[in-house]
Chain A
Amino acid sequence: MKLVAQLEELLYQAQHAPKKEELRLLDWRILVSESEEMSAGIKDNSPGGVYTPPSYRQGESGEVFLVWADGKCSQAMVQRGSHDDQEYWQQELAQWRQASYEDPDAVHIPSPEPLPLVTVEDRAIKAIFAGDDQILFDQVRRWLTDKPSKAKMQGSIQAAWGYRHVRTSTGLAVTYQQSQFVAGFSFDSLIGGVFAKRRLARPEEQAGLWERTLNLYESMHLDAPHIGPQTRVIFAPSMTEDMIGQFIIPNFSGDRVIEGQGAFSKESFLENKLVFHPHFSLLIDPLRPLEFGSYLVTPEGVPADRTVLVRDGKLQTPYLRVKDSVRWGAKPTAIPQGTAGLYLQHKVEVSWKEALQGVEDGVLVLAVLGLHTQEAVSGSYSLSAPHSLRILKGQIVGKTDVKLTGNFFADLAAPTTKTALSELDNYPYLMITTGVETL
């Protein structure tokens, strides 16, 4: 018997005909994921070495959220395990009851609402698990054939497919199929590229990512002049994404804003305070087909919808899970999946190719060391970026090592900050004026 069916039966019974009165439930919610995953990798130019062998994983697990008759609530992780007898689950129920606590804002279980149509499954990924997995091994072989001869290559490909089940006592019963495909590689552990979506990469996307990475890798072998006081700093899309993950995601989380632990106060949101330049907007969009951050329904049973966090530089709302939405007095919002599903937009966006031509004196920062150590609430950063690329007169001319000191909120508020887009990325290149010194 499937885990979701076992749980549904258990919780339905506990709600309507409990074996013991103290185990009576008022409401409940179930999230179960059934998944299969395959991966293959490269370590130090060797395919499938002892640390990165071809791997298969299957799993069936989830979580339950329970509201008891006395208004207390419990949450627990659950696994199918080896048990499917009623006695085992009754014992579990009794343990969950022991772990109950009071949280009146958390006990609301949303009523079902119509779900949007969002494509989150690629049938070609399902075929991998039906035996057609040569695609993974072919990709590994192609990477190794095409790589620069002197480069030490690392790589990883993961494909996942499975079911997601969401059930609530208010009548929501959703089961849908979803898939994921992540393929990433690096040369000399210095420069790399990653593709991550809910579908396989198209040949032109693979080729584009490979070519861009090769070009940057070649530039990395040239020495470039040091930066100067006028040098513009340009975050590569992956770097912009990392900065968003460090400084934006935590500060727009509803619970942190409500508790006063974020960079912006609740009042700032309610007053729609201007915090970024009016050209910037920030939104969560889980409706884009086959994007990594797209979904149909949140684990709490809230249908996917777009949520604007910042419009024209002004705060609109933090992202709100159900409990936070009750405390905030608004509907629950969309939820980002890490940095996936979050989009930074600028009113004046040009292509990266065009923007690069206009850079007289810049440095392209591909990665930094220690970003996760920075104070998220203040927005301040003090980072080293060895292996950045120098740009002079519209051309990438070679490698340089820099350190950066500034404030990401100030960067997004500055009128001098510009963005540029690449078709290969969801996040833009971010062209800023900040503290930059030779490392």
Chain B
Amino acid sequence: MEQKEIKELVHSVLAETRGFDGYVIVRAQSRRELGMRLSNGRFERVSTGADSGFGVQAFTKDGASGFATSDVLEEGVGQKLVAKAIQLARRNEAIGTKLNRTIWELPQVQAEEEKPAHKVFGEIPLAELEEMVMTLHSRLREVFPEGVWQTSYRQVEEVWCIGRTDGTNVSFVIPRAVLMHQGTVRDQGKAQSALIHRSGMDVSVLLEELADHALEKKALARAEFARAVCGAPQLPSGHYPLIIDYGLAKGLAHEAFGHAVESDHMNESVLGEAGKLRKGLRVARPGVNIIDGPLAGDWAYQPYSANGLVRQTVTIVRDGVLENGLGDVFSAEEAGMSVSGAGRAESYGHIPLPRMSNIRLIVDRVLPLTPVEHLMDEVKAVRETLLQHGELIEGEKNLLLLGYRGGQVNPKTGDFVFQCDGIVDVADPALPIYQPSIFSGKILSALQAIRGGLGEGCYDAIGTCGKGGQSVASSGGSHRYLLMDADQQVSLGGEHG
């Protein structure tokens, strides 16, 4: 379904709500997707798909809500879902739900955003896309035959329309594309894998990779590193000065701080007190800033919230002080923060939750780092820059954590855990490599430990946020590397039994 059709659908469903004395939000979405996966030189899967549907969120006049969704778009479904959502809202009121009438306070919004992608979905025939991806995959296998390689490419286009009782009608298109290489390498009887990706909005991702092979070079460097990690020793657990790459920094900003300032989490957040955001709290040294907001062309781009509000860019931490949170219409006021259009949902079938888009951790104190092509050359450059600026502490390990494998945080207690691909001691001129081990501790201590950045801003670390059981695109980054002091509340590693 195109934007026009989907707008008509929303309009027709809203027409079914005439006579209802409450409030209704209708969310409709049409999604097209294509994907392919190659393994060891062969196609394992090529698939296409389309999915459309809509959800009706109804509020009684006192503010109790009910929700009904369908992917069956036959005649009469709109009426059925509206009736079901209203019925559930009334049942909800009867069981004593917490009432919420904030939706009535929103201004009416009318918008129809242009498609932001440069290339139209389906512009290049699938057979040609298959050929391109096979070419990239085959090159990788040729230059690194010792690895077992998988390559996948996925392209998605989502058309959204959000309509509300107050006459709001907002429609927009979210295009996403990603090319990924995953390599498994073995050495000394041990195996390690490396995953690397290049993302954007459309097939330009493939065209650019065919021109510059930037991802291939990174994949090879990561595979070499993974092979070195196979036989690497374990690091003694302890508290070390750390250098983390921007992927890990994105993880820290997203998992540790972004989630902790989402307006629906204030009752259970280490950054909340009595349900309110602890605004004005010093959480980091002066010069540390955390910002969240959509970036055009980015993997997690979304110009409007799933409740039909403009998505704003929010400075969460300014100069080390907690300033604002990510608020949606339903909980921002109660959480003591402004409504910033932070509501996002996986699909029409999900209730939107306040969540991040692209989150960046930026510091004022930045050391220059000249970009180099090969990973270990870059690691050498990091060491040289740190030596030059007197940042390496004599007699201590200074550990560079490379790669981000994901992480998890308990926002209530502030405990976090992140995992990397491997570790290099840049204080040692031999640059010894160690096995990956957990980077864990307390989020506030980790933020306080940040003392500077290294290199330019890199904000294309992508992921999928799983908050509330929904899968929503997320992204972000930092300077190419962040420098962190040793802290007793932040540790690395553990000992085998």
Contacts and interface: CB of A to CB of B under 8 A. Distances in A.
A189 B416 CA distance: 15
A76 B98 contact: no
B95 A137 contact: yes
B12 to A, nearest CB: 11
A176 interface: no
Contacts of B43: 101-103
B148 A261 contact: yes
B308 interface: no
B123 to A, nearest CB: 13
Contacts of B127: 98
B73 A386 contact: no
Interface in B36-75: 36, 39-40, 42-53, 57, 64-74
A206 interface: no
Nearest to A34: B72
Interface string B481-497: 00000000000011111
A255 interface: yes
A56 B440 CA distance: 40
Contacts of B406: 370, 372-373
B148 A260 contact: yes
A10 interface: no
A79 B71 contact: yes
A378 interface: yes
B187 to A, nearest CB: 12
B285 interface: no
A140 interface: yes
Contacts, number: 240
B415 to A, nearest CB: 5
A315 interface: no
A141 B95 contact: yes
B258 interface: no
B227 to A, nearest CB: 13
A370 B64 contact: no
A98 B349 contact: no
A39 to B, nearest CB: 9
Interface string A275-304: 000000000000000000000000000000
Interface stretch (A44-52, A118-126, A208-216, A354-362): A44-52
A77 B184 contact: no
A49 B97 contact: yes
Interface stretch (B164-172, B188-196, B444-452): B188-196
Interface in B258-274: 264, 267-268
A99 B88 CA distance: 42
B301 interface: no
B46 A47 contact: no
B299 interface: no
B409 A54 contact: no
Contacts of A395: none
A160 B417 CA distance: 35
A370 B408 contact: yes
11 contacts: A53-B89, A60-B71, A77-B48, A80-B72, A81-B52, A98-B125, A372-B408, A382-B437, A383-B417, A405-B493, A435-B495
Interface of A: 43-44, 46-61, 74-82, 95-96, 98-103, 137, 140-141, 152, 188-190, 255, 259-261, 263, 368-375, 377-378, 380, 382-384, 386-387, 403-407, 433-437, 439
Interface of B: 33-34, 36, 39-40, 42-53, 57, 64-74, 81, 84-85, 88-89, 91-92, 95-98, 100, 125-127, 130, 148, 150, 184, 190-193, 237, 264, 267-268, 330-331, 349, 351, 353, 405-410, 412-413, 415-419, 435-438, 440, 468, 493-497
Give 5 nearest A-B pairs by CB, closest first. A77-B49, A373-B419, A370-B417, A405-B494, A435-B497
